[in-house]
A and B are shown apart, each in its own frame.
Chain A
Amino acid sequence: MKHTVVKFIIFAALILLVPLIFSGGYMMNVLVFVGINTMLAVALNLLLGFTGQISLGQAAFFGLGAYVSGVLTASHSVNPWLAMVIAAISIGLIAFFIGFPILKLKGHYLAMATLGLGIIVYIIFNETVELTGGPSGLSGIPNLSLGNLAFDNDYKNYYLIWTFTLVIMLLSINLVNSRIGRALRAIHDSEVAARVMGVNARLLKVQVFTLSAVVSSLAGSLYAHTMTFISPASFGFNFSIELVTMVIIGGLGSIYGSFLGAVLLTLLPEILRAFQDYDIVIYGLLLILMTMFMPGGLVLGIPGLVSRLMPKKPVERGEHA
C-alpha cells in the first residue's frame, strides 16, 4: 500500500515540475493535450483494460462533454464550472441508460455497438448546425477561471488540466486496488466465476461504463474551455481508435501505462514531423513493432528492456497501478 502512495507522489511531483523545463512555448500546448489524453486513456482503461469491455465510441462522450460545456457557456452564458457539472451528470445518465442494453453484448458485438454510438453522436455534432455550429465548429467558449485567475495560457492550463488528471489517476489507482477493482478484474478473467462469487457483473459493467463516460465528459469540458473552439473533427471515429491504441500500447490494466500511452501517441506525431511526408509511415511502423515486441505495453515493456540490458534481478509482482 505504502509503495503505491510513494510512487504516486513522485509521479505527481515530476509532472508538476515539467513546466520548469519548457517554460511556455509550443511544447506546453502539447503537454496540455497529453494531460487530456491521459484522462481519456485512464477512463477507457478502466473499461477495456480492467473490466475487459471494449468501447470504440469513447470520443462520443469526450465530444458530448465538450459540446454541452461549449454550448451552455458560449451560447447561454452559463458559468463554466456549473456547465461542466451539468455535462458530467447528464452524460453519466445517458451512459448509464445506454449501458444496460449495450453491455449485454460481448466482444465483437460490443465493439460494433459502441462504434455505432460514436458514429451517431458524430453525425449529431455535424448536423445540428444551429446548436453546435456544425462542421465549421463552435467558437467563443470562455476560459475557466477561479476568482481573478483566468486559465488563459498554456502554462496555467497545464496546471489546471494536470490537477484534474492527477486526481483522476489517483482515484483510479485506489479504485482498481479495492474490492470494486478486484471485482472488475474478476469479470475480465472469468465472468461466470465472478458471478458465482456474488459479483453483479451486469450492473458493475454498466457502472464502470458510466464512470468512464463521466471522466471522458470532464476531459471534454476541460478541452473546450482550454481550446475555446471545438469542431466535430476532434471527436470522430479516428480519435476513438487512437484512444484504444493509447491504452493498448501503454499497457492494458495499468493506470501509469495509460499515461505512457498518452505521452507516446501525443508526442510521437510532433516528433515525427521532422520526417515530413514519411511521418505517418514511421508512426505506423513504430506501433506495429511495439505491439510485436512489447505485448504487455510500455509499462511492462520498458522495465523488460531495462532488465535485459542490466544484470539480472528478480522482479516481484507489485500491486496494480
Chain B
Amino acid sequence: MLSVRQVTQRFGGITALEDVSFSIGKDLITGIIGPNGAGKTTLFNIVTGIYIPTSGSVLLGDKDISRLPSEKRAYLGMVRTFQNIELFGKMTVLENVMVGLHSKSSSGFLACAFKMPWHLREERRIRDNAMRWLKFTGIADLAQQEAANLPFGKGRLLEIARALALEPKILLMDEPAAGLNSKETHELSLLIRKIREMGVTVVLVEHDMELVMDICDSIVVLNLGRKLAEGTPRVIQENPEVVAAYLGEE
C-alpha cells in the first residue's frame, strides 16, 4: 500500500531521519512509535507531503509520490489529521466536512456564481455526504456549530469526519489520542477499528502505548532517526532493544 524507501531527511547539519525503509500493508492499522526526537513527526510530514525528503522515496501503490504536493495526494486517496487539530475555525462543523469533499466535486467559479443546475445538484450531494460522515463519527447534532467552539475531543472527531469525507484509501493520524481523556481514547479506538473495517488503511503516530498495542496490527519503531524495529505488537514488546530505548523509560 505505502512504502517508504531509504528516506533520509536533513535540516541544515541535523539529520532527522537516516535511511528509513518500511512498508505498510493494505487494510491494516500500523503504528509508528518512538521516543521524543525519534523523527516520527518528520517522517509523517514526508509521507504526507509537507516536506520533500533529502533522499529516498515514498511510494503509494507503485507510484512515487515523494515530490507531490499535499493537494495532489488527496486525489490519490491519501489524507491526514493533525496533532493540534487544524480545523477551519470560522466555518460550521458541517462546512468543515463539506470542504473534505472538495476533491470529490468539480464546479468552478462560474458554475458556483451563477448557480448552474449541475452545481446545485453537486452541492446537495456534498451536503448529504457530509452529514453522513458527521453521523458516522457521532457529531451530527453539532452540524451548525462554529468549529472553533467545539471542545477538543469533538474537534478531533470532526477532523476525522472531514478526512473520511475524502473516502481515502489511506488515513494518516498524527497523535490522535493526544489531549483526549481515557473514555474518549477508548471511543477513538473503536472508531479507528470501524474505519479499518471500511477498507481504509490506517497509519498512526502515537504516544499512548496502551492504544497502540491494543489496536495496531503492525508497529514501526523509530529511535534517533533510524528504524529500530518492525513487527506485530507482541514482537515489539518483546524486543529488548525497543524495551531499552523506549518502553524501559516508563
Binding site for B on A (CB under 8 A): 171-172, 174-175, 178-183, 185-186, 188-190, 192-201, 207, 211, 253, 316-317
Contacts and interface: CB of A to CB of B under 8 A. Distances in A.
A194 B74 contact: no
B123 A179 contact: yes
B107 interface: yes
Interface string B96-124: 00111011010111001111000100110
B103 to A, nearest CB: 3
B56 to A, nearest CB: 22
Contacts of B105: 179
Interface residues of B, number: 41
B70 A179 contact: no
Contacts of B113: 171-172, 174-175, 178
In the complex, which of the residues A178, A181, A192 has the most CB atoms of chain B within 10 Å of its own CB atom? A178
Contacts of B69: 195
Contacts of A185: 88, 90-91, 95
Interface in B44-60: 48, 50
Contacts of A211: 109
- Tell me the interface secondary structure of chain A in the complex: helix
A185 B73 CA distance: 21
A193 B112 contact: no
Contacts of A180: 107-109, 112
A263 to B, nearest CB: 24
Contacts of A172: 113
8 contacts: A178-B113, A179-B98, A179-B126, A185-B88, A186-B91, A189-B91, A193-B88, A200-B71
B86 A179 contact: no
Contacts of B86: 190, 192-193
Contact of B114 (A171, A195, A253, A317): A171
B102 A199 contact: yes
B123 to A, nearest CB: 7
B82 A182 contact: no
B79 A190 contact: no
Contacts of B102: 179, 182-183, 186, 197-199
B157 interface: no
